[in-house]
Structure 1
Amino acid sequence: MQKAVKQASWMNTCAVTALLLGASSASARAEETAPAAPPAAAPAAEEPAGVGDIVVTARKKQESSNSIGMSINALTGDTLAKQGILNTADLVKAVPGFNYTRSTYGTPVYTLRGVGFNETTLAAAPPVSVYVDEVPLPYSVMAQGAALDVQRVEVLKGPQGTLFGQNSTGGAINYIAAKPTKTLQAGADASFGRFDSFTGSAFLSGPITDTLRGRIAIRRESSGPWQQSATRPGDRTGGTDRTQGRILLDWDANDKLTFELNANGWIDRSTPQAGQYVGVISTRAPANVAGAATTAGNAQSADWDPNTRFYTHDNFYQIALRTNYDFTDDLKLTSITAYQKLHRDTLTDADGLAVNNFTAGNKGYIKSFSQELRLAGKYGDHVNWMVGGNYQNDATYDTFSPQASSSSFPFKAATAMGHNQVNTYSAFANVDWQVLPKVTLTGGVRYSYQFRDYVGCLFDSGAGDLAAVVASASTRLSGSTTTIAPGSCVTISSTTYKPSYYQDSLNQGNVSWKAGVNWEVAPHKLLYATISKGYKNGVFITTGATFAAQLAPATQESVLAYEAGFKLSLLDRKVQLNGAAFYYDYRNKQIRGRVIDAVLGGLNRLINIPKSRIAGAELQLVTEPVKGLTINAGATYIGSKILGDFSNFTPTGTAMLMSGEAFPLTPKWQLTGDIGYDRPISQTFNGFIGASATYQSATNSALGAQSLFAVNAYTLVDLRAGVHTADDKWRFSAFVHNLNNAYYWTNVSYAGPDVAARFAGMPRTYGITAGWRFQ
């Protein structure tokens, strides 16, 4: 941490100097009245807002989401609550082109328009970045509490990085937290449902002094186990136990200088979901595994090792300080400083069997410090510009401990370790130039350089079984006798063929950029076109490697994105129709592939796919044909393909040419729809009813597209109905999720040596909710 602060001192020095100068200037003019801030670029007061018009800050200024020449989906906190969207994974219900997958050990995988990364290594930065008030949550596993007490969420699609935060190839999800208020406000919500589920949340907001405001929010989620053992009636797993909290403090030091402090965190003590065994992938699997009956077919039916306590003991906290100083109405300085730490400790059954074929323990931590400094301003009435810099220091320690007493592995247990020390430096700039009354040009550039140092190794458990096997292989390959003590590092060097720690560095730089044109062909009718390029940094894997070559990194990936679209307000602004077509030229896509280990057989390894592409289109319709009736529907088509001559191994160990294949876990079609009707039923109460549906077409979870790893198409339907007071202070409703009780799964894992297991989605759930607001 001290090293991180020291390396970021140049940014902090600049920020402090500017703030001190500004404070002195403000003091000298203390009796002057500051001019009023310019109004938000929202529809004029005399003009009614159109449907789907949400004021966003995606480009660091307030403007309607439908006036921005980029693909962005914005949802208010009220919309999220009504549709039962409690976390980032639930955004699949409302955001076309967004996909969520549960990885083998529970790490969330977020994908936008086919750009995602199914990886469980703690140090693997995602291609879709998550933020809260522009403060990055640099690793997806940190994002569990991001959706707590939010004003809105903005989902930006395509490469990002020229405006704020970190580089990304897929997009960014920025949650805007509900802010401390100048008047006393409070609220609470409670939900009770199937499987003894309970979700309760509350907030309190208001002034502390004339210049200091505060807000506190908390959420508690719990449920009983929803999965049952296929071989042991009465044995259950899959319970939820999570607590999230946030404290916000806003201080107006003077009329130009403000501070925003955000302290938040969460604790997860849930019981991990068990997999459903679907088949054997190794001819060396022991008889009690190869002859097992599959547990797939019913969402609630699964299996796991008897007399074993599987658990999640994860926790996270973050402290972030945002400092804003307004030199003038047109020149603003922003500093964002954040420190966060995550601790992970889980034990997961990854085979879906009642025997110990593959159980995984994951322990580790992430410490991350970031500092951003940016200056934004205007030149005349037609140019908005911004320049900034960003520094991030990450330290990750990750251990992966397989237990495989009944498997084809020649050992019963082991522990793999990976340690990353990462420093990333970035500078960025962006400009919007209104060259004609209805035409605006946009451009941005970002330079980033990352220094990544890695140390990793696979350790014998102390029993000496793995050490003896690897020592024999080392003796044979090196030509001299090798002895490995029990409990020692067993990873064999690729040059000496002797066991040693694997140490390597990955230092890479890149220049990402964006250029675009926006043309307002008529009032509230926008055409736009953009070209952008984004990068995702390279990564080392944490895995059981008997040979050092398995730990070689995947280098940085890039996406060159072409997009053209429209945003049309029609029929007296009662209909909003947005659409876009896009083409992504993908280079060095990072993905989990396979390598054949001489000792252990087929094992996972991170690889790069040299050339691939995504071609697609999306369309979204929002309309309110009559007062109280709202309809929101979206469709996305994603055509992904591996190009060139690319070969790798399937999970079953078969080498094959994979050119022409679609990306794993990338459905071609994604459809979303929501309809709601709200109308008065008395002078005091309104009644409402609504339904939402999502559809995803079939895909496959692994390279090679083998049928064992198929993810079938599925449709999910939710219903809601209830009443609320006319002033919306009270709200009561009932809900049903997965009304059709669809049996579906989002991933098929092949983490272990012998079997594949799928992770099913929840069956039908139902319940009631109540909400109260005071202001």
Structure 2
Amino acid sequence: MTNTDPKPNGASPPGPLRRHRTWLAAGAALAAVAAPPALAQSNPAADAPPQLDEIIVTAQKREESANSVPMSISVATASDLEAAGVIEPRDLGKIATSFNYTDSYVGSPIYTLRGVGFSDISLGGRPTVSIYVDEAPIPFAIETRGANLDLERVEILKGPQGTLFGQNATGGAINYIAAKPTREFEAGLDASYGRFDAWKLGGYVSGPLSNTLSARLAVEHRDMGPWQRSYTSGARNGREDFTNGRFALAFEPSSSFRANLTISGFIDQSDVQAGQAIAITPSIPAAAPFVAGLLTYPLAPANARAADFNPGGDYARDNHYFQGVLRLEQDLSDSVSLTSLTSYSRYRERQYQDIDGTTLSNIDQYTDGRIRSISQELRLAAKIGARANILVGGSYSRDKVLEDGLVTNPESTVAYTFVPFGLPLFESFRDINNQRSRNIAIFGNGDVALTDSLRLYGGVRYSRNRINYNGCTADAGDGVTANSFGTLLNVFRAGAGLPPVAPIAPGGCFSADAAFVPGLVVDQLKDDSLSWRAGIDWKPADRILIYANVSKGYKAGSFPTLAATLQSQLEPAVQESLIAYEAGFKGTLADRTLQVNGAIFHYDYRQKQFLGKVLDPVFGPLIRLANVPKSRISGAELEFVWAPARGFKLSAGGSYIDSKILDNYTGFDATGAVRNFGGEPFPNTPKWHGLANADYQWSVGGRLDAFVGAGMTYQGKSNSQLGELPLLATKAYTLVDLRAGVEAPDGRWRFTIWGRNVGNAYYWTAANANLDTTVRFAGMPATYGATLSLKLR
């Protein structure tokens, strides 16, 4: 908060016992709709009356109270994140209203804020919600899994953040603030054990190396046994094996110069989650009887752990991420400072996925990908007297993304595409996507106090973005698919009165142009944009802020990674833009025991990017990136934190989002049917989102503190794709977490027992229509365990 089961066909809900259990637990969590605790409460053992502490944020790239920032921000401290069970960015929906996480079927996370998100399946897909660690960008969503390590806090900035954080922040920006090296020795250790033989061991050590140099090392390893089980073979999947680390050096040779070097990274060898087959939906119905076992395949039961996958497959990822960041700060005077932020990152992905949710080899994919990124920002900040601040600067970034996906589908209806022509089964192909992008930007932001209570602010950023692309869908290397497509394309050319083309070489591209000539697609996308923001805020009384602003942001265009028989499917989605209008308030009331924040907003959306469908002349509906010309979002948020008595804190709030596609936009739904999408809500955008957290702590005999707590999350219903098809719906769900424990009054040790999703609600975050099946991705079932934390100072 600002500082301030159904069955596979979706026909029936969970049984009464499970329903009652969930709501009883929700009652224990003080189940109102809610929002995250962003303000730490004073020590309950202290003699002073309870008050909410002021939170300092860097949302505008300078330190200031969250209550003085004229925008909607959700902030959570490290202790808030730990209590809520926030382990990765995907869990931020537990502590931030309007935030939604969705699984893509190839494992790339999709983050959405206030309905602004980008559903893509390629490594090189640019996000709409950008993630940073200490203002250093993590360029792509697939690289963000380790951002939660060893934090001070996280700041979630809602609405377009283009003027300060650049393109690809139309939905907002999430800035993780890492714990910093200390001038005195500190160390800590956290150990957890829970259901599914899950254990986590992490710790940090921090302190001085000399009078001017200090360091901090934090490491964490998470391990868990398989939590998924095949409902047909009994095989297991879902093991976690994740190692994360960060090393930081802070150098301060004088009071005017500071240098910070941070090296971080993770190794992810966890299993790729298997999907749940909820329907058999053949791409070529006439060929379905030839695929043994397809039409009679048993569907997944309404159980989070139930899934299916090819037996004997190795689903362990082999993914690695590394980032190095150098931050230099020079105070040129008491009021002027110069900051340089340089970052380099690389990511390597090698993973095998069973996409179809069955034990058939219906559609499987092995992805081999690489990402390399470099960015440089240089900015000058100045305070002009007591009433004005300005910030000007420039940035440069470059990304290189190489992706090669080998897809095999021998037991699918699509495999029989060429059989009527006397050709062999179409069993495999490769999706190739190579991109190089470059972005140059200049920006400026400022604010000025007209009076003691009235302030104007504004900002502008010009960005120039270039993406060079080459890619195609190609033969797997054995020449079989190349021969089949070469024969088919020459049939089409003969029908058009054209001469035959040369045979496609083994491993060659078979994506064809309008004249049915196959080959590599080479293209370039050029985007220029001018993001801006303007607003006013008013402080009618102490600790009360009322604000209104309007801003415009952009998300860069993108080239897709997908199966394309026609080169037109590989055309990029052009850049999207969004104009946002927001008005809100922030207030600390009741002798600083109550913080209330609220906002209303309206977004005018142009060229919204989404993953849609195109009707292929050979294979029927295939995916492609597309743009919706016009759409809009309207909504509201309300949040509060209340500390009515010593040791007790309650946070609550919720959001309402009404998204709509305008102007009778038509396209193909997941089945290939032409649909008018006008009036439909956005995919992955529930109307209602609510959160609640309650904590109580008291002294036990003077040498021990005890505590209990509960959290509740509510997510409204939505749909994974345009068309509002029932099979692709995500139902509304409520999750309840409980926690209790004891700790030393001075915080040197803490023991917690916890339960998450204690009502064992069966829910899913996404559904997807594949070649011959429709699958869901279930959320975790009930988990429980214990954590011991130790701190040395």
Counterpart in the other structure of 2:453: 438
Q: Is 1:281–1:651's contact at 8 Å kept on the other side of the alignment?
A: no
Counterpart in the other structure of 2:142: 141
1:284 partner letter: I
Counterpart in the other structure of 1:469: 484
Q: Quote how far apart the aligned CAs of 1:81 are.
A: 1.5
Residue number among 751, 754, 777 corresponding to 1:732 in the alignment: 751
* Whole-angstrom CA distance in 2 between matches of 1:605 and 1:351: 19
Counterpart in the other structure of 2:262: 262
Counting only pairs closer than 5 Å after superposition, residues 680-759 of structure 1 correspond to structure 2 as 680-750=699-769, 752-759=770-777
Q: Is 1:614–1:639's contact at 8 Å kept on the other side of the alignment?
A: yes
Secondary structure at the residue paired with 2:144?
Answer: helix
Compared CA separation, residues 71 and 61, structure 1 to 2 (3 A): same
* Whole-angstrom CA distance in 1 between matches of 2:51 and 2:447: 24
Deviations 1:250-309 (A, max 9, x none): 001322111100000000001111100011333515232233221141111110112222
* Whole-angstrom CA distance in 2 between matches of 1:185 and 1:661: 54
Counterpart in the other structure of 1:337: 342
1:148 partner letter: L
1:757 partner letter: V
* Whole-angstrom CA distance in 2 between matches of 1:165 and 1:216: 30
Counting only pairs closer than 5 Å after superposition, residues 754-773 of structure 1 correspond to structure 2 as 754-773=772-791
Secondary structure at the residue paired with 1:106?
Answer: coil
Residue number among 375, 379, 387 corresponding to 2:384 in the alignment: 379
Q: Is 1:136–1:166's contact at 8 Å kept on the other side of the alignment?
A: no
Stretches of structure 2 lacking an aligned partner (at least 5 in a row): 1-41, 43-47, 416-425
Counting only pairs closer than 5 Å after superposition, residues 257-336 of structure 1 correspond to structure 2 as 257-282=257-282, 284-285=284-285, 286-287=288-289, 288-336=293-341
* Whole-angstrom CA distance in 1 between matches of 2:315 and 2:506: 24
Counterpart in the other structure of 2:198: 197
Q: Quote how far apart the aligned CAs of 1:402 are.
A: 1.3
* Whole-angstrom CA distance in 2 between matches of 1:492 and 1:103: 24
Counting only pairs closer than 5 Å after superposition, residues 414-453 of structure 1 correspond to structure 2 as 414-453=429-468
Q: Quote how far apart the aligned CAs of 1:699 are.
A: 0.6
Q: Quote how far apart the aligned CAs of 1:68 are.
A: 1.4
1:372 partner letter: E
Residue number among 365, 371, 385 corresponding to 1:360 in the alignment: 365
1:691 partner letter: A
Q: Does 1:647 align with 2:666?
A: yes
Counterpart in the other structure of 1:113: 114
Q: Quote how far apart the aligned CAs of 1:504 are.
A: 0.5
1:661 partner letter: E
Residue number among 570, 577, 597 corresponding to 2:596 in the alignment: 577
Q: Quote how far apart the aligned CAs of 1:486 are.
A: 5.2
Counterpart in the other structure of 2:406: 401
Secondary structure at the residue paired with 2:332?
Answer: strand
Q: Is 1:99–1:112's contact at 8 Å kept on the other side of the alignment?
A: yes
Deviations 1:484-526 (A, max 9, x none): 3452323344243211100100011000000011100111111
2:670 partner letter: P
Q: Is 1:165–1:390's contact at 8 Å kept on the other side of the alignment?
A: no
Secondary structure at the residue paired with 1:708?
Answer: helix
TM-score normalised by the chain length of structure 1: 0.92
Q: Quote how far apart the aligned CAs of 1:674 are.
A: 0.3
* Whole-angstrom CA distance in 1 between matches of 2:345 and 2:631: 35
* Whole-angstrom CA distance in 2 between matches of 1:86 and 1:269: 17
Compared CA separation, residues 239 and 492, structure 1 to 2 (3 A): closer
Deviations 1:325-371 (A, max 9, x none): 00011000000001000001111111111101111111111000000
Secondary structure at the residue paired with 1:622?
Answer: strand
Q: Does 1:633 align with 2:634?
A: no
* Whole-angstrom CA distance in 2 between matches of 1:350 and 1:283: 15
Q: Is 2:691–2:712's contact at 8 Å kept on the other side of the alignment?
A: yes
Deviations 1:376-416 (A, max 9, x none): 00111111000010100100001122111111223111111
Deviations 1:467-486 (A, max 9, x none): 23322332133322234345
Deviations 1:516-538 (A, max 9, x none): 11100111111100100000000
* Whole-angstrom CA distance in 1 between matches of 2:186 and 2:167: 34
* Whole-angstrom CA distance in 2 between matches of 1:248 and 1:85: 23
Pick which of 282-291 and 519-528 moved more: 282-291
Q: Does 1:64 align with 2:65?
A: yes
Compared CA separation, residues 294 and 715, structure 1 to 2 (3 A): same
Q: Quote how far apart the aligned CAs of 1:164 are.
A: 4.2
Q: Quote how far apart the aligned CAs of 1:459 are.
A: 1.3
1:343 partner letter: R
* Whole-angstrom CA distance in 2 between matches of 1:491 and 1:612: 36
Deviations 1:83-110 (A, max 9, x none): 2212111111110111111111211111
Secondary structure at the residue paired with 1:549?
Answer: helix
* Whole-angstrom CA distance in 2 between matches of 1:589 and 1:471: 36
Counterpart in the other structure of 2:611: 592
Pick which of 200-209 and 251-260 moved more: 251-260
Counterpart in the other structure of 1:523: 542
Q: Quote how far apart the aligned CAs of 1:691 are.
A: 0.3
TM-score normalised by the chain length of structure 2: 0.90
| RMSD across aligned positions (CA) | 1.5
Residue number among 493, 517, 527 corresponding to 1:498 in the alignment: 517
Q: Is 2:482–2:510's contact at 8 Å kept on the other side of the alignment?
A: no
Counterpart in the other structure of 1:175: 176
Deviations 1:396-440 (A, max 9, x none): 001122111111223111111010010100111000110111011
* Whole-angstrom CA distance in 2 between matches of 1:769 and 1:294: 37
Q: Does 1:51 align with 2:32?
A: no
Counterpart in the other structure of 2:16: none
Q: Quote how far apart the aligned CAs of 1:717 are.
A: 0.2
Q: Is 1:470–1:599's contact at 8 Å kept on the other side of the alignment?
A: no
Q: Is 1:340–1:368's contact at 8 Å kept on the other side of the alignment?
A: yes
Counterpart in the other structure of 1:32: none
* Whole-angstrom CA distance in 1 between matches of 2:80 and 2:310: 41
1:291 partner letter: T
Counterpart in the other structure of 2:162: 161
* Whole-angstrom CA distance in 2 between matches of 1:333 and 1:164: 17
Percent same amino acid at aligned positions? 42
2:118 partner letter: F
2:641 partner letter: V
Secondary structure at the residue paired with 1:168?
Answer: coil
Counterpart in the other structure of 1:101: 102
1:268 partner letter: D
Pick which of 531-540 and 289-298 moved more: 289-298
Counting only pairs closer than 5 Å after superposition, residues 668-683 of structure 1 correspond to structure 2 as 668-683=687-702
Q: Is 1:185–1:206's contact at 8 Å kept on the other side of the alignment?
A: yes
* Whole-angstrom CA distance in 2 between matches of 1:273 and 1:669: 27
1:741 partner letter: N
1:323 partner letter: L
Q: Is 2:50–2:643's contact at 8 Å kept on the other side of the alignment?
A: no
